[in-house]
Structure 1
């Protein structure tokens, strides 16, 4: 087998893709957490103070969409290097808020390259939302 463009052997079989899609559908059924507007982190609860929760979620969605579109237009070898994100309660809550938003993008994904762009875009969006510094260096994949 010949390696892919990034030097790794990547193969997704149809049954593996079906399993991933089923997991995404199952995950989508879980209710999305609300977002506390004062500290911009998702919280468990149903308090919607004058639409601020919906506004924060919409802001997160637009950040996600912008990052995905930016990632799709950037060649793989020119992607920015992303930092490691600490596993704090706040960061996990933001990830839990972003996960349901990813379902529609991932279900519409046609191939592995598009799925990769969606997931990398989600990681970029997470960094922007939590305020993590993104390196100005580029990630370099050697053939």
Structure 2
């Protein structure tokens, strides 16, 4: 039987959790323009594996969730946030989209046109307390 959960990294205190592998790849794509956070990565491939991996998740002092913004993903995020203050919702980065990959696909032409946006988006990935970048404006404040 194939492994259904993919994890990357050595032991770090922080963990980034992704619902799917394409979201993880999108995270790396946006993050390539900034240094990525020093953390472990966990790709669930299905929310059904979130509970099964609670012991792995619990080993981390900080957990950022990049789950889908559909009903199941939002419910899982909501439940996880109740587990303790070490959990953070990183999905505000792609609010208005179902997931990080959808956000990247929708915004890639704008990102490609104005390369200065990618470092800003990468910073958001590093510190999820900041709002997502406003990609509707260029670096000089002009509309794209």
Q: Which has the higher strand share?
A: 2
Q: Which has the higher helix share?
A: 1
TM-score bracket, normalised by the shorter chain, equals under 0.3
What TM-score, normalized to structure 1? 0.27
**Relative contact order higher in (CA < 8 Å, ≥ 6 apart):** 1
